[in-house]
Structure 1
Amino acid sequence: MVDRSSTGSRPARIWRGHPNRGQPKADRTASNLSIEYSPDASGKLPERAFFKYNMNGRDRVAVRRHCAAVREALFYDEINRGLDDPIGPEAYDIGGDYDDGVAYLIIEDIADDHYLVDKADVDSPWGGWAPFETVPAERFVETTRRLARFQAAWWNHARITEPDLSSSTGDMLSVPMTGTETFVEKTLTDEWEDNIVEGLEKRGEPDPSASRETMRAAIEAWPDIWKDRASQGNLSLMHVDMHLRNVLFRKTDDRPILIDWEGLTTRLGIIDIAHLIATSMLSPDYLSRLDGLLVPAYHEALIEGGVTGYSLEDCERDYRLAWLALRRDLMNTR
């Protein structure tokens, strides 16, 4: 039971939620809710909502308040609500014990009027899940522009340098984790070498040993490269887990909405675009085509959003750095 008076767009007195289906995990649970109201309820009264109870990442960070569960709550409570054009679903209620790394969300259920794009019914040339080869380039372009507009709103903003946004969330790998000497030492082990070669062989890599050495060099060089790049500014918020299963498109006009903001952090925004392309498992021809479309579209949307002092050449350089940053966790997708 959530009982609160009407404030802004929040509903008044949600009094009963029935979990229709859940996705229980060790560190989080999600359910769709059907909502009923008391007779005196007023304001915006949705009949359905999405509930998420989350503890993800709290045992993998030094400060539990910085974990993935709380980071997503922070996104919905502060970041998304502060946008003129919110990039995520509307939040009705947010809370939890943040100091203990626990958060809950009650957010808009957009399943009925949005859709997920389909994967192709073929194997990926890179292994892993099926490719999104049949998704029109326009969906990639609009998702890219949407991300850029979001990032433009937070470009070089003082708020994004604070630890609750700039630190690792303890979830999937991101620049705050990979850009350290400690990470390099823990990663480059004999076991890593064996696993990398085995994985590359399964993917049909012509020279697995040479590719392994390229990856080793990239991992070793990245902390210094990132330290130099970060000192130059032009940073913003990143989604981090940017792939097409975290994008829903509105049925009426294909407008994208992004979900799953547990990895939200501060770094090179265009890493999200490289991640979107890499995780789509596309053919080399389609990859090449999107390279030529998405970087200019991303930069154009940043400029339209008010970003200055960041040229297309700067953007293209950062896009190349993005692929270097992703080599550790996306290994041979490119």
Structure 2
Amino acid sequence: MSNLPIPMTAEDFTPEWVTAALRSNGTLGDGSVTAVEATPVGEGAGFLGSLARLTLTYDRAGADAPATVVAKFPALVEVNRGLAVQYQVYQREARFFNEIKSTITAMPTPEAYYADVEEATGNGVILLEDLDGKLRVGDQLAGASAREAEQLMTQIADLHATWWGRAEEDTISWVPAFDGPVWAMTAQTLPSLWPTYQEERSHLLPPGMADIIERTWEGLIWLGQQLSRGPMTLVHGDYRMDNMFFPPSEGDPITIIDWQLMSRGRGPYDVAYFMSQSIDVELRREHERALVKRYHDGLLAGGVRDYSFDDCFEDYRLACLWCVMYPVAMGGGMAHNERAVQIAAEVSKRSFNTILDLDSVSVLPS
């Protein structure tokens, strides 16, 4: 940790602050940042934090000094920031870049020039490599194509296979598990957003869905326990299109950003999160089983043993039910601009239909 204060607004990224941050890890040598132009980016893409592109002017700088960086800092909306701190999301991502990123070869992610968290408040900041103009950002509203989904299943299987059964190793043992105290708070905090969702977005609820969601709230602790049965692995936690950058050439690795919800748990969690919220309903119905099979085949190719496809698919069904918390959270108070509201509605449709198609509620104990 450094002695730099955590910026709470884009205006807090002063030339002096950015100079000190870039010097802290050798990105910037003797030169100094003389001007910073901050431009908001990703409107509606981030619910737990703020994003700004910083265009930097130097008095002198080496060839490695970036012309622009993307700054991640605490959410401006108080309720979103409060949830982020409660769930340790700024701490998780800063520690990912400082402690875990170097161990991961199967999942491309941007370089971090600076990552820090303030222990007293839980607020954090990261300066990231700017991918604008290099790669195409995914679109949560448009959703993934079948080809994109296939590659994303292969990549997430590679990540999961790398950490399969190693969840207690020191490198990631601190990462919250789904049955631990951090995620256990969902049983209290998420249902509190449900009345607002019902009041403002009841038109999005298919027949019987309200009862399923209320049963899910009652079973959240149990679901977390099931998602934490061994063998656990490292899961990304926010595996969705807005967090994916696609290369110009099809088949090249897809770069994944945003590790704020990184957790330890059953691997199919990431598959369920992606499939139930980043793919059009009809496309998922057509390719669902084949995509989960592709993921399972990737686990086997990565050395995972004693984990059948049937077990994998059951974990997927269960995780889809857990993931209903996200559209309810977005639609129940965390969507604060037009695009976020649109995402909340689209993700609700996709998630609810997935749960109904799979009869996921039947996994709950009677």
The alignment partner of 1:81 has SS state of helix
Is the contact made by 2:162 and 2:302 (CA closer than 8 Å) also made in structure 1? Answer: yes
Within 2, Cα distance between the matches of 1:188 and 1:36? 47
Q: Measured at CA, do residues 149 and 108 of structure 1 come closer, stay the same or move farther in structure 2, by a change above 3 Å? A: same
1:223 match: 221
Give the alignment partner of residue 262 of structure 2, picking from 261, 264, 267. 264
Q: Measured at CA, do residues 225 and 86 of structure 1 come closer, stay the same or move farther in structure 2, by a change above 3 Å? A: closer
1:276 match: 274
User: 2:36 is aligned with what amino acid?
Assistant: H
Taking only the aligned residue pairs, the percentage that are identical comes to 21
The alignment partner of 1:242 has SS state of coil
1:291 match: 288
1:21 match: 39
2:98 match: 77
1:305-320 matches, cutoff 5 A? 305-320=302-317
1:130-149 matches, cutoff 5 A? 130-132=141-143, 135-149=144-158
The superposition leaves residues 107-141 of structure 1 with CA deviations (integer Å, 9 ceiling, x where unpaired) of: 1111111002457xxxxxxxxxx442xx4211111
1:249 CA displacement: 0.5
Q: Measured at CA, do residues 69 and 40 of structure 1 come closer, stay the same or move farther in structure 2, by a change above 3 Å? A: closer
Q: Is 1:34 the counterpart of 2:55 in the alignment?
A: yes
User: 1:106 is aligned with what amino acid?
Assistant: L
Q: Measured at CA, do residues 160 and 166 of structure 1 come closer, stay the same or move farther in structure 2, by a change above 3 Å? A: farther
> Which 5+ residue runs of structure 1 have no aligned equivalent?
120-129, 168-173
Is the contact made by 2:100 and 2:172 (CA closer than 8 Å) also made in structure 1? Answer: no
Within 2, Cα distance between the matches of 1:80 and 1:317? 30
The total of aligned residue pairs comes to: 303
Is the contact made by 1:58 and 1:67 (CA closer than 8 Å) also made in structure 2? Answer: no
Give the alignment partner of residue 4 of structure 1, picking from 14, 23, 42. 23
1:211 CA displacement: 3.2
1:247 CA displacement: 0.8
Within 1, Cα distance between the matches of 2:61 and 2:182? 53
User: 1:273 is aligned with what amino acid?
Assistant: V
> Which 5+ residue runs of structure 2 have no aligned equivalent?
1-18, 328-350, 355-366
Q: Is 1:203 the counterpart of 2:204 in the alignment?
A: yes
1:243 match: 240
Give the alignment partner of residue 324 of structure 1, picking from 308, 318, 321. 321
User: TM-score scaled by structure 1?
Assistant: 0.74
User: TM-score scaled by structure 2?
Assistant: 0.68
The superposition leaves residues 267-289 of structure 1 with CA deviations (integer Å, 9 ceiling, x where unpaired) of: 222222212122235133x1122
Is the contact made by 1:177 and 1:183 (CA closer than 8 Å) also made in structure 2? Answer: no
Within 1, Cα distance between the matches of 2:194 and 2:271? 27
Aligned-CA RMSD value = 3.8
Is the contact made by 1:250 and 1:256 (CA closer than 8 Å) also made in structure 2? Answer: yes
2:347 match: none
User: 1:246 is aligned with what amino acid?
Assistant: N
Within 2, Cα distance between the matches of 1:67 and 1:90? 21
1:166 CA displacement: 0.8
Within 2, Cα distance between the matches of 1:187 and 1:90? 33
Give the alignment partner of residue 47 of structure 1, picking from 61, 67, 74. 67
Give the alignment partner of residue 176 of structure 2, picking from 166, 183, 200. 166
Higher helix proportion = 2
1:125 match: none
Within 2, Cα distance between the matches of 1:94 and 1:13? 21
Is the contact made by 1:93 and 1:107 (CA closer than 8 Å) also made in structure 2? Answer: yes
The superposition leaves residues 25-60 of structure 1 with CA deviations (integer Å, 9 ceiling, x where unpaired) of: 998543223345565746x34333222233687744
Q: Measured at CA, do residues 19 and 82 of structure 1 come closer, stay the same or move farther in structure 2, by a change above 3 Å? A: farther
